[in-house]
Structure 1
């Protein structure tokens, strides 16, 4: 029983979630739950066409409805200073311009906010919204990626940046494919997918004064949201406060400031009262981005003994007509395997939809699905074990950057995962394994995600009562940020975690990057470590410089610290506690603020996390139903800070990968340019019955190069490759290669 919960190799002594009790008792306060005096409620009116312009907007009935305080649209918006004045004859925004809410009468996508109703209750606002009559002049829209592939182009922002990694890439001579002994060619498709966290997006906007704005927002990027709103409304940065202490999942949807945030902020400015706006589930499909639909074409060549000679990888994704959203879809292909001839191409198609955004494992999860599916196809063409093919093409150094890895344990992940899964029991022949009437399939895939680190600051305060407060303006969308930071602080200060309190979720705290790209522990964790290290050094200096201290004039190099007590190494009897040091110096507290940022090590090493997933599926040959029966996942992610929460992150990633492979798809009715999947009845996310036992293992690497804490990040790599492993298992079970996700029963029967 215990093995199902912990990897026994790690000698786990994990912390429970420091905020767990608050969450399970309902004491945690989410964005829409803050209680402000005189709060009002807002409901959006959204466009019913995908492209065109508003010719009239009749809000008279809505304005006269009970409880309505205002109806705000482009007709009467108080305006966003950064937008400038509304033009008499508006022109469509140039590429790279975020949507300007209520600035003019132009429509860029179906579901675009065209008005916001503010009333004293949500029910009254909802009713009034139904009374707003909008008429449009329609223009022909384009929302179909496949029908517009001829318009695919290198992104304009890439063309302007000569250093962009999205430029066409060639290593060696891709024409060598023609001479390959064995080759495969295939096209893989991923539909648009929407994030759909349990908590929908919500905001309370409050102008405390004409030049002071406070937002309670569901955002992953607290300082970024603060800066964005300060620039938009031309306010001093310190006059904008953003709070997001608890977030009920986001998966990337909370990375940027979306139109509903601006709508609520404008509404609050108009009515001069706090305004609460909560997106209904339907608007989660039109208002806060998505994983872009992507079509990928891969060719692979190899020698007869399975050595890769050539890979070409072309990807086309959709974006909006007013912004370019780019992802790292083709980048893993350049570095995951040792291959002399590699070519990648990346293109975008501008469509009349809301701008896509990053979704857990952005780029890599899309690109590695195609790459690892192609590797499986090549293995079958070679009549070789798919795991052995990957081992033979292991990249001992980064073949793209020509740099050594800071650390890499992919081979160990293969070995450990395969052993625990029982990969050796696999019969390679498709449709050869059965359990009763069910077809059984085994599939596997590699996983990778780059190590990223950003500038961050942290404050550490030691108080006279022995407690330590550590602070940084980071956020937590669910992985357990507070728990990880508490662990880092406790280990650095040699204190029990019970004495540590980590504050996050407020823009008034020291600078921190957003919780994106698996960077939080790498960035904020490093800042916490250096701040706590500096605090410890201050305490050591006080201990040896205080005349009435038992350690007076001792060389700091001869001191040790354990459980908040400093003593001479080898002589624990001669010591002093942290609290005694403060008391001896009449100090109510001791405080430090430190920053952490990447250094020259990034020019010396290539830094990535690696892993492997092993999946067993059962397929009903009559109905085409696919059930994932078990998963073994193993990752090398540097130092694992807290195994319990790390395991939870890994499970979450696997669940997302199963959904990507088997159920998730946002369906667009191209006649109207509108998604018809607007709820959980039509957009299918995995539920409890869909998820099997998941065994999680880690290779706890020592990597002194990535950052001060030695952690590479786990949030993204947990999902990268899972969809491919499931798809590969389905092929082995059925003999049918499904390259167009999700793998639904109709594609198998």
Structure 2
């Protein structure tokens, strides 16, 4: 999209919509944005974690003498001298920000609390020194000996040990094995490996006790209020005594959705050494200490009649979790409602392994489940000899079959049509391996994605100043999608204040409370709060204008319009007043409003989802098995698009992650030792520029009439959900080879020759 330099740039697709550049764009590319690790405080110390070298067992001896005597070292903390964390003193599991696990079924894990080792890389010591270099050197001097046990890290070998997690029930609609009665059936297994978030910014925290009961924290967190609450619980403090700051975040993808044990430990250590302490974990520790997408094995059993109507689907998934904490996600959920099918059953199980606990990763659960479901839909379409889009349309549903209620809005048919036209779907041949370009096999694939569209409770404060400038305040963290830009646009649309006169302040617990950024819900939640508070200010201005003695005395409120800082009457162009003059005449230096916003009970009447359709054209080298994504088109049905440029960037980012998920990303574990062997960016292959083609994004851009006043639904998750199966389906169309275990690497295709 070309750069717009006007004060209120216009979206070229819709003449009534503004499409500004990112409000934080210049700051980020010129180095003005400060991330947590950029903050420096007087007398600051630095932490380095020493990780276990075994995957399971116990520490038998720990020699820290050389480390303690190294230059600049302030302390070496182990299970023998770790400071007490008051909220952790009870005998519960590690998860301080959630319900404790059942002590009879889970091992106990407290960081630096026991000689017991539960996973590779588990912290066995934290070294604190007056410089990062000195802390790193001293950490290398810590020596441990262990009693080793065999680490259980191979999910395939332990699938039979899967258990039903708490609060998770098997689902059934119709008959459990209804698919068996169909004349055409399919049964296949699909595997997702461990995937690691690996954003550019490393994880960590900077903790500073300003006095015995007051704490300042700079952290990599997707929710400053959530971190504030977690630390308050751990240290039994009043949350108001804790301030958390995270204005900018260099990629979250889910790893920042909880406060990790090492962060809480740093807070305790900072109090012990009585100075600010910073921890930045290493790249290899990012594989061990801040979660990952769990390895998951899925089975799809599907049946359809000869006319292409689904008869039944059974979807079973088994995923890894830690031995000390149960992690679950919505892997099988979209199978329950995406298609019109009378007989649907799902089952979800977890297996406790000797690994660090997983965490939600972009498209949590649904991205994993979509690979199985949408690959199976493609396989069934081939069995039936039906175009994959047509097969989906024959099983399209206008209502949610899981809950038997209407969707709040759904324009998936239009998404199929527009995406097919853009990718050139009519050029596709249904016979696999029948198309070539320049000696490369070519193929087309598509897939559907969906994710809940939420509206959580949020607060905002908006201040309209007498000079016409506007300040918007919210504690929300902008983890990269352009939240600040979206809130700017919403305020502009309500109050008509020029974009360059609006400043959004965010990412700090001193500001009005906001939910954690995750689940594609922030524009819906915080955006609604900003919309509502700006509306309060607009109503206040109108009241001032139409009161006795006002410039529009005697006129009705709905006759007035507000644009570019001017109140006017549309039918009387000459009748207008500047907001600045109106405030001056009323002796107002500022109009300051704060409010809370949440969805009403009417939302329960609808199933509210965002949808996506991904189309891919691939080229496959028949000699080497190399796969290249030649073209990608992603269509979003996510309500009204508030900020077109950042929305397009969200889709492009999702596609980039989807290419990595489909073709390159896999954290490899040597199960003899329970250790990652490619725990670096040289060997763990994320998609790079050479892997990513030009990406076309299409927005259906029709408002949802129920979810919020903007009509906007989430987009961040659906940008990724469904992309990997679109690639897999295109590879099959190009080669006739069906790869069901990601990533689709050349060796897998060559082995099928």
Q: TM-score, normalised by structure 1?
A: 0.96
Structure 1 consecutive aligned stretches of length 4 or more whose deviation exceeds 3 Å: 6-13, 91-99
**Residues 325-404 of structure 1: matches in 2 within 5 Å?**
325-404=327-406
CA–CA separation in structure 1 for the residues paired with 2:353 and 2:409: 41
Residue 514 (1) aligns with residue 502 (2): no
- SS of match in other structure, 1:286: helix
Residue 124 (1) aligns with residue 116 (2): no
Task: Using the TM superposition, give the Cα deviation of residue 574 of structure 1 relative to its aligned residue in structure 2, in angstroms.
Answer: 2.7
Task: Using the TM superposition, give the Cα deviation of residue 648 of structure 1 relative to its aligned residue in structure 2, in angstroms.
Answer: 0.6
Check conservation: 1:94, 1:322, Cα contact below 8 A: no
Q: Which residue of structure 2 aligns with residue 252 of structure 1? A: 254
Residue 668 (1) aligns with residue 669 (2): yes
CA–CA separation in structure 2 for the residues paired with 1:544 and 1:99: 65
CA–CA separation in structure 1 for the residues paired with 2:202 and 2:109: 21
Q: Which residue of structure 2 aligns with residue 243 of structure 1? A: 245
Task: Using the TM superposition, give the Cα deviation of residue 611 of structure 1 relative to its aligned residue in structure 2, in angstroms.
Answer: 1.8
CA–CA separation in structure 2 for the residues paired with 1:227 and 1:205: 15
Report the RMSD for the aligned CA atoms in angstroms.
1.8
CA–CA separation in structure 2 for the residues paired with 1:655 and 1:97: 38
Task: Using the TM superposition, give the Cα deviation of residue 139 of structure 1 relative to its aligned residue in structure 2, in angstroms.
Answer: 3.2
Task: Using the TM superposition, give the Cα deviation of residue 140 of structure 1 relative to its aligned residue in structure 2, in angstroms.
Answer: 3.4
CA–CA separation in structure 2 for the residues paired with 1:326 and 1:703: 30
Residue 84 (1) aligns with residue 86 (2): no
- SS of match in other structure, 2:49: strand
Residue 61 (1) aligns with residue 63 (2): no
Aligned with 1:183 (options 176, 179, 185) = 185
Check conservation: 1:93, 1:322, Cα contact below 8 A: no
Task: Using the TM superposition, give the Cα deviation of residue 452 of structure 1 relative to its aligned residue in structure 2, in angstroms.
Answer: 1.2
- SS of match in other structure, 1:728: helix
Task: Using the TM superposition, give the Cα deviation of residue 552 of structure 1 relative to its aligned residue in structure 2, in angstroms.
Answer: 3.2
Q: Which residue of structure 2 aligns with residue 554 of structure 1? A: 555
Provide, for residues 277-310 of structure 1, a one-character-per-residue CA deviation record: whole Å limited to 9, x for no partner: 1111000000100001000000111110100110
Check conservation: 1:634, 1:696, Cα contact below 8 A: yes
Residue 711 (1) aligns with residue 721 (2): no
Provide, for residues 459-505 of structure 1, a one-character-per-residue CA deviation record: whole Å limited to 9, x for no partner: 01111221111111101111101000000011011221111111111
Residue 111 (1) aligns with residue 112 (2): no
Task: Using the TM superposition, give the Cα deviation of residue 99 of structure 1 relative to its aligned residue in structure 2, in angstroms.
Answer: 4.3
Deviates more, 1:9-18 or 1:215-224: 9-18
Check conservation: 1:86, 1:104, Cα contact below 8 A: no
Q: Which residue of structure 1 aligns with residue 454 of structure 2? A: 452
Q: Which runs of 5+ in 1 are unaligned?
A: 159-165
Deviates more, 1:14-23 or 1:490-499: 490-499
Q: Which residue of structure 2 aligns with residue 21 of structure 1? A: 26
Check conservation: 2:106, 2:325, Cα contact below 8 A: yes
CA–CA separation in structure 2 for the residues paired with 1:585 and 1:98: 64
Q: Which residue of structure 2 aligns with residue 734 of structure 1? A: 735
Task: Using the TM superposition, give the Cα deviation of residue 10 of structure 1 relative to its aligned residue in structure 2, in angstroms.
Answer: 4.5
Q: Which residue of structure 1 aligns with residue 324 of structure 2? A: 322
Q: Which residue of structure 2 aligns with residue 654 of structure 1? A: 655
Provide, for residues 319-366 of structure 1, a one-character-per-residue CA deviation record: whole Å limited to 9, x for no partner: 111211111110100111101110100011111111100100001100
Provide, for residues 142-199 of structure 1, a one-character-per-residue CA deviation record: whole Å limited to 9, x for no partner: 11111111110100x22xxxxxxx3111101133322201111100000010000011
Q: Which residue of structure 1 aligns with residue 590 of structure 2? A: 589
Q: How many residues align?
A: 735
Task: Using the TM superposition, give the Cα deviation of residue 245 of structure 1 relative to its aligned residue in structure 2, in angstroms.
Answer: 0.6
Aligned with 1:472 (options 471, 474, 484) = 474
Q: Which residue of structure 1 aligns with residue 529 of structure 2? A: 527
Residue 33 (1) aligns with residue 38 (2): yes
Check conservation: 2:177, 2:314, Cα contact below 8 A: no
- SS of match in other structure, 1:748: helix
Deviates more, 1:352-361 or 1:571-580: 571-580
CA–CA separation in structure 2 for the residues paired with 1:95 and 1:288: 23
Q: Which residue of structure 1 aligns with residue 6 of structure 2? A: none
Q: Which residue of structure 2 aligns with residue 747 of structure 1? A: 748
Q: Which residue of structure 2 aligns with residue 172 of structure 1? A: 174
CA–CA separation in structure 2 for the residues paired with 1:708 and 1:689: 41
**Residues 219-238 of structure 1: matches in 2 within 5 Å?**
219-238=221-240
Provide, for residues 581-634 of structure 1, a one-character-per-residue CA deviation record: whole Å limited to 9, x for no partner: 221222221111111112112221111111211101111111111111000111
Deviates more, 1:262-271 or 1:423-432: 262-271
Task: Using the TM superposition, give the Cα deviation of residue 449 of structure 1 relative to its aligned residue in structure 2, in angstroms.
Answer: 1.1
Q: Which residue of structure 2 aligns with residue 490 of structure 1? A: 492
Q: Which residue of structure 1 aligns with residue 679 of structure 2? A: 678
CA–CA separation in structure 2 for the residues paired with 1:421 and 1:546: 61
Task: Using the TM superposition, give the Cα deviation of residue 674 of structure 1 relative to its aligned residue in structure 2, in angstroms.
Answer: 1.4
Provide, for residues 49-77 of structure 1, a one-character-per-residue CA deviation record: whole Å limited to 9, x for no partner: 22223233221111100011111122112
Q: Which residue of structure 2 aligns with residue 162 of structure 1? A: none
Q: Which runs of 5+ in 2 are unaligned?
A: 4-9, 93-100
Check conservation: 2:664, 2:743, Cα contact below 8 A: yes
Residue 419 (1) aligns with residue 421 (2): yes
CA–CA separation in structure 2 for the residues paired with 1:390 and 1:324: 35
Residue 563 (1) aligns with residue 573 (2): no
Check conservation: 1:95, 1:323, Cα contact below 8 A: no
